[in-house]
Chains A and B, each alone.
Chain A
Amino acid sequence: MAKGQALEQKRSEVLQGTLDLMILKTLAVMGPLHGYGIARRIEQLSQDVLQLNEGTVYTSLLRLQQQGWISSSWGASENNRRAKFYSITKAGGRQLVEETKNWERISGVIGRVLQAQSSK
């Protein structure tokens, strides 16, 4: 059990990181959403570029919640099912700004590095 957990963490670390950022952004833009809604929104925006196991949304949500960046409450979904709605907290908003900057800086650096390599 302990071993399996460790492996999983290694494999999904990077994806989780970006997924966290995407979810935060989604919630910031769309307001409160349930897990299904978040998965749909990401699917729509990624336009099939990103193949996502939708279950991983929930690990991400749990982690964000444990950090205090999002909060959750029960409500009714469109088809009147009981669903848990997530919304971004103030701390989450600050985190989103921070991480967005961070992401832009890193992706910029990576882009430049990759360009430099191809021009050689």
Chain B
Amino acid sequence: MIRPMRPLKEQLARILGSLRRRRFEGDFDEELEAHLALLTERFVQRGLSLNEARYAARKQFGGVTQMKDELRARSRFRPVEAVLDDSAYVLRQLRKSPVFAMAAVLTLAIGIGANTAIFSLVDQLILRLLPVRDPQQVVALSEVGQFYGDSQNPGTITPMSYPMYQDVRDHNQVFSQMMCQRRQDFTVNLSSESEVVSGEWVSGNYFSLLGLEPALGRLLEAKDTLYSGANPYVVLGYSYWVNHFGADRRVIGRTIRVNDYPLTIVGVIRSGFDGLEPGLRANIFVPITMIPLVVKDYEFGRRFFDRRLRWVTPYGRLKPGVTIAQARAGLQPLFNQILEVEVGQAGFRNATRYDREQFLKMRLDVIPGGQGNAILRQRYEEPLWVLMIVTGLVLLIACANIAALLLARAAARQKEIAIRLAIGSSRLRIAQQLITESLALAIAGGAAGTAVAIAIMKCLLAFLPSAVGAYDISSSPDLRVLGFSMLLALVTGVAFGLVPALEATKPDIAKALKEQSASATAREGQYRFRKALVAAQVALSLLLLTGASQFIRSLENLRSLDPGFRTQNVLQFELDLESTDYDLSHARAFFLALEDRLKSYPGVESAGTADVPVLWGGSWVAPMIVIAGYRPKPGEDMTAHVNAVSPGYFQTLGIHLLAGRVFRESDASTSQSVAVVNESFVKRFIGNEPAVGRFIGKGNDPSAPADTEIIGVVNDTDYESLRAIAPRQMFLCAAQHFPGPFVYVRTKQDPRSAFSSIRKLVHQMEPRAPIQAMKTLGEQVDESLATERMIASLSSGFSVIATALALIGLYGVMAYMVTQRAREMAVRIALGAIAGRVIWLMMREVILLAATGIVVALPFIFALNGFVRSELYGIQPNDVMSIAFSVLVFSCVASLAGYIPARRAASCDPMSVLRYE
């Protein structure tokens, strides 16, 4: 029964006991008193007097107080106890100095909040794996090399033709399953209103490959995509079901109209899964074989089995034990075989030898697919890491500031600590208490930081373009993110608390006790540490300032670019006729009529339509332009950006006609096919000869007929983004190709005032077609710069905060130094030193600190700038001007922060200072 080690259970009971201390103590007291009372009674019954009985009872019981103490001690766990004691002590201390506590918590809240917000985005867009079964096993396939044919890129992963997907699916040895999908915006008609809903075309085994379960009904199966058009079913996403059907369990079997085609709801996916593109929620899932029926006059429908059109993204689940490298090696021979077969088919009839060679050189890449097809990730990954660095620096500065504050506090408490050390407290115990204080601050800061994070997230999300799709990024932090911010709080708590704690408890008691005034107990070591902190802050905030100034300058550069069109007083919207029963000629007539009605509308100057909107990020590129009389070299880049526009387009966007004419209403499907090209197009393919009247064509190979006549030349305009150089462009006539769906209207006054009346007009003409993304062209330009604006405003905001923190730090250390040297200064003044000389003595320190910080920062500035190169535009990284400017600004404010306390030192009354000392 002799146990040298206390078992775990007993320790646990003790820990619990400590937490329930109060109750336990009451228990013991009452229990022991009851026992004593019973003993006393017993002795009274034996004939003792009450007093004698009491005495006898106590004797028989043993020391009551000692017993209580012992029980209490045994029921508790010392370390927990110590922490609880310390916490109570710390809270008392902090309540005594609310300004310090507030300042520290606020500083931390900003630092932790900023990091949490950015981390939340990083987590949602970059780190998180899809909520599917074993996401590490899921891979995507991507073709690498020069394809012969057309590609419709739906995301970051190069797509594949449907027959190619089928071949790989049926003959590979490395996957246990394969499926394919493609993102699509559908028009869903639930009641009278039609709504655009993002969703996915999926092959039947999509759900079984991902290991998804239905919340209701059934999900699609492989047999649902065996035959074209045979399975008019739709599966709903969970949140779509909840938000649009009120979580009604009777939806199974109901029919909804998707693009005006009836589909029967067969099931609802369990919650959590929102499709394969993080941030872009997919609400409905339709069998991919329904394309020919659900979308009318749609390229994928007509060319479903065409090997010369790549449009689906294939995914596979690796067989257990197969690595990505093995899969790659295993697939390539199969892929080569298929390429060999394809190159011998009719589709290559007109291909050049060069085209065939390049085609046969293609590779099939296997990439991790567990994160899905992340358009948003690709777009925001770099900016987010840049912001993560920025916020990390802000947090470092915040930590430095709080460390300085704690040092000052510890200095004020020097005497108390010295006394405690002198009467035998261990250094560890006191340090533990000081660390508890910094942890308490950190945890409070972390909690407040979470609130700050939510605010910053909301502001961040406001920067994301509104209409590019239904962005589905949550601004409320989840458990992972909360965990992150708490971890951050704890780490920072230890980081900024450790050095001051160790510093404050350095055991030279005698010296501290001898000193008379609390302010005079500074130690050289502590002071040096504070100066180092300030220099580090200076360096960090300078780093942020230069970064921010470069981001702002590059944003300004982008803004001042001439896109080639006039953005003032233009509004735009998208009108999708997919939900109507219009055929192509009907749609052409509709858009022409719409343009006419808009033009004659009061307050409207002109109107026009386009197939591809400007600065939207999307593109329509023709792989091969043929020009009568132009012989391309093998492998020469003959691509051009294409658009189909209406007669009023050029005038509405303010694009200048340089030669010939623009489209007329008489250019119709029955008349000669015509095109307008831009300057770059002429420069590249035609040169100095007159362009108007030349014949051109587009297709996959040089055999395409050059049957389209150039009727006009316009100035260059930006197409996908402001950053890219304006591409060579070929405008086709909407009446001869695709009309709409983007409508531009130039108004006489502010276009915003015309929003509702134009909406009404369109609704009158066609109530079934939903109007989407109505905004001004200026807003569209701004949205195309969303990333740049986000980085510029956040980094400048953060760097201002960081600079303010650094200046507070600088001011603090200077003010501290002034009190330290007050006596010396008073003596100097008393002996006749002039004020200027005294100020200079102080300022010398400031300048030294700032200069140290700047010198330390410079190499880091150069190093970090390399990293942000791709986020800059129109300036050299390490642009000397912006660096010099930030250094100058910083030096000025730093001097000011130092001058105020220096001035105070110089203007003191020497007599009062000396007398006080």
Contacts and interface: CB of A to CB of B under 8 A. Distances in A.
Interface in B58-101: 60-64, 66-67, 70-71, 73-75
B27 interface: yes
B725 interface: no
A54 B39 contact: yes
B32 A20 contact: no
Interface in A83-113: 83-84, 99, 102-103
Contacts of A66: 9-10, 13-14, 17, 75
A55 B1 contact: no
Contacts of B779: none
A83 B31 contact: yes
Given A5-B73, A62-B75, A83-B31, A21 B1 contact: yes
B892 interface: no
B106 to A, nearest CB: 40
A79 interface: yes
Contact of B38 (A14, A36, A56, A62): A36
B63 A55 contact: yes
A58 B28 contact: yes
A55 B37 contact: no
A13 B6 CA distance: 13
A81 B37 contact: yes
B38 A79 contact: yes
A99 B1 contact: yes
Contact of A36 (B7, B34, B75): B34
B35 A102 contact: no
A68 interface: yes
B2 A58 contact: no
A35 interface: yes
Contacts of A14: 2
A55 B30 contact: no
B709 interface: no
A68 B9 contact: yes
A39 interface: yes
A55 B34 contact: no
Interface string B407-425: 0000000000000000000
Given A59-B67, A81-B37, A83-B31, A54 B61 contact: yes
B62 A79 contact: no
B69 to A, nearest CB: 9
Contacts of B70: 5, 8, 59
- Chief secondary structure at chain A's binding surface: helix
Given A54-B62, A102-B1, A63 B74 contact: yes
B41 interface: yes
Interface residues on A, range: 20 to 34
Interface string B1-45: 110000101100110010000000001101110110111010000
Given A55-B62, A66-B9, A66-B10, A18 B1 contact: yes
A77 interface: yes
A8 B38 CA distance: 27
B1 A67 contact: no
A18 B73 CA distance: 22
Contacts of B60: 53-54
B3 to A, nearest CB: 8
Contacts of B39: 36, 54
Contacts of B31: 34-35, 58, 83-84
Interface residues on B, range: 20 to 34
A63 B63 CA distance: 19
A77 B1 contact: no
Contacts of B7: 67
Contacts of A36: 34-35, 38-39
Contact of A82 (B9, B10, B34, B62): B34
A56 B62 contact: yes
B38 A59 contact: no
Contact of A55 (B2, B13, B41, B67): B67
Nearest to B3: A17
A81 B2 CA distance: 35
Contacts of A1: 73
A68 B9 CA distance: 8
Of listed B17, B41, B70, residue having the most chain A CB within 10 A:
B70
B27 A84 contact: yes
A74 B30 CA distance: 11
A45 B32 CA distance: 22
B41 to A, nearest CB: 7
B6 to A, nearest CB: 9
B62 A53 contact: yes
Contact of A59 (B34, B37, B41, B71): B71
Contacts of A77: 34, 38
A99 B1 CA distance: 7
A66 B64 CA distance: 21
A65 B13 contact: yes
Given A58-B28, A81-B37, A53 B74 contact: no
Of listed A5, A55, A83, A103, residue having the most chain B CB within 10 A:
A55
A14 B706 CA distance: 108
A24 to B, nearest CB: 10
A100 B73 CA distance: 29
Contacts of A67: 7, 9-10, 13
A21 B163 CA distance: 81
A55 B10 contact: no
A17 B62 contact: no
Interface in A13-66: 13-14, 17-18, 20-21, 34-36, 39, 53-56, 58-59, 62-63, 65-66
Nearest to A106: B1
A100 to B, nearest CB: 11
A36 B39 CA distance: 8
A110 to B, nearest CB: 14
Contacts of B30: 82
Of listed A21, A79, A99, A103, residue having the most chain B CB within 10 A:
A79
Given A14-B2, A36-B39, A53-B62, A83 B10 contact: no
A68 B17 CA distance: 14
Contacts of A99: 1
A58 B71 contact: yes
Nearest to A53: B62
B46 to A, nearest CB: 14
B80 to A, nearest CB: 15
A63 B38 CA distance: 23
Contacts of A81: 34, 37-38
Interface in B552-570: none
Nearest to A13: B2
A89 B517 CA distance: 63
Contacts of B71: 58-59, 62
B604 to A, nearest CB: 85
Given A59-B67, A63-B10, A67-B7, A20 B1 contact: yes
B78 to A, nearest CB: 8
A81 B901 CA distance: 71
A79 to B, nearest CB: 7
Interface of B: 1-2, 7, 9-10, 13-14, 17, 27-28, 30-32, 34-35, 37-39, 41, 60-64, 66-67, 70-71, 73-75
30 contacts: A5-B73, A8-B70, A13-B2, A17-B1, A18-B1, A36-B35, A36-B39, A53-B60, A53-B62, A54-B62, A55-B32, A55-B61, A55-B62, A55-B63, A56-B62, A58-B28, A58-B31, A58-B35, A59-B67, A59-B74, A62-B74, A66-B17, A67-B9, A67-B13, A77-B38, A82-B30, A83-B34, A84-B27, A84-B31, A103-B1
Given A54-B35, A79-B41, 14 more contacts: A8-B70, A13-B2, A18-B1, A20-B1, A34-B31, A36-B34, A53-B61, A55-B32, A56-B62, A66-B9, A66-B17, A81-B38, A82-B34, A102-B1
Interface of A: 1, 5, 8, 13-14, 17-18, 20-21, 34-36, 39, 53-56, 58-59, 62-63, 65-68, 77, 79, 81-84, 99, 102-103
Q: Give 6 nearest A-B pairs by CB, closest first.
A: A53-B62, A17-B1, A66-B13, A55-B67, A55-B62, A66-B10
